Amino acid sequence: MAATVVAEDVRRVYGDTVALDGVSLSIDEGEVFALIGPNGAGKTTLVRALLGTTDAEGTVRVFDQSPRAVDRARIGLLPQNFDPPDRLTARELVSYYGGLYDESRDVDSVLDDVGLADDADTWYENLSGGQQRRTCLGTTLVNDPDLLVLDEPTTGIDPAGRRAVWRLIEDLAAGGTTVFLTTHYMAEAERLADRVGLLADGKLIACDAPDSLIANHGGDSRLVVDTDAEPSVTNEFSYPSELADGQLTIYDVPPEAIGDVVETLEATGASYDSLSWTEPDLEDVYLDLTGQAVTASGEVVRAGETPLADGGRVDTAAGGDR
């Protein structure tokens, strides 16, 4: 399969700040590639380097051309901070961007694709956050791009809006569009991406399919039970387990074995209050590889530090919008 984007040893320094420190990656045609990293990791700088809007050392090829030589009609870019005029309607905005190209898609079909057919004549300022972001996405689709570059497509929008954007990206990917997106929402990358690149302090520290990253770096699943059990309870299970401060953690229990584990616990005469089972995810991978957790607002919390006000290691599909 042909590579749509190839970057080799890309480096960008701003004064004393090394924003990108030798990043190499390639994105295949039709692939959804998500670049994960906290605020300041270098995501936007890499977007700029790949599109040739910032000077960087190293080599970048897009459609096997220098980025600045690529026909702009082949690329759709959603910048992180896209702030169109408030008093243009969704239709006017998409139509305006369509006018920038020699050939563009029918405006109504674009509005339909982004789920704004019913709100096409609403001013931008009166659309919800999710609708606004989908309008912005519409302006990037009007030239029917072969490569879509989305810099933090869902930052700052509510969970329902985020899911709507996810569905839209999934539809585009199913239609064969190559997508490069950046995000600090691990769940977003896990859901959408064929491959994920983990960026930390300007370095690409891992790059693989989400499942492979989780299998190699995510650790075990955990069954956590609040219980009054005696310390010796850990001898009862055939899985590794530990008891501390009234919390029993049993590792690597497959979901179908949870009932047996609970029966074993009950048989010891112990009672319990709550029980939760969690699978490892990309958050665990990032933590394992960097010693850092990424909060919902994209800040990092280093292992051993007090979590920030927005809840520390949180980045679920449902929560944490600011």
Answer yes or no whether residue 149 interacts with ligand ATP by CB under 6 A. no
Work out the end-to-end distance of the chain between its first and last CA atoms, rounded to an integer number of angstroms: 39
Which positions from 75 through 114 interact with ligand ATP, judged by CB under 6 A?
Answer: 80
Which positions from 45 through 74 interact with ligand ATP, judged by CB under 6 A?
Answer: 45
Place of tokens 């190839």: 6
Nearest to 78 by CA among 143, 141, 5: 141
Distance of CA 132 to the CA centre of its chain: 19
Answer yes or no whether residue 39 interacts with ligand ATP by CB under 6 A. yes
Answer yes or no whether residue 43 interacts with ligand ATP by CB under 6 A. yes
> What is the rounded CA–CA span in Å between residue 172 and residue 78?
14
Judged by CB under 6 A, which stretch of 34-42, 116-124, 265-273, 286-294 contacts ligand ATP?
34-42
Q: 314 in helix, strand or coil?
A: coil
Which positions from 246 through 305 interact with ligand ATP, judged by CB under 6 A?
Answer: 298
Minimum distance of ligand ATP from residue 267's CB (angstroms): 50
Minimum distance of ligand ATP from residue 53's CB (angstroms): 11
Q: Which of residues 41 and 206 has its CB atom nearest to ligand ATP in the complex?
A: 41
Q: Which of residues 42 and 218 has its CB atom nearest to ligand ATP in the complex?
A: 42
| 210-245 burial code (b ≥16 CB/10 A, e <16) | beebbeebbebbbbebebebeeebbeebeeebebee
Residue 318 sits at φ, ψ, to 5 deg, of: -90, -20
Which residue among 8, 17, 85, 319 contacts ligand ATP (CB under 6 A)?
17
> What is the rounded CA–CA span in Å between residue 251 and residue 242?
9
Answer yes or no whether residue 37 interacts with ligand ATP by CB under 6 A. yes
Answer yes or no whether residue 44 interacts with ligand ATP by CB under 6 A. yes
Say how many residues touch ligand ATP, by CB under 6 A: 13
> What is the rounded CA–CA span in Å between residue 31 and residue 6?
13
Q: Which of residues 53 and 268 has its CB atom nearest to ligand ATP in the complex?
A: 53
CA torsion sign, 146 to 159 to 203 to 215? Answer: negative
Residues near ligand ATP (CB under 6 A) are 14, 17, 19, 37, 39-45, 80, 298
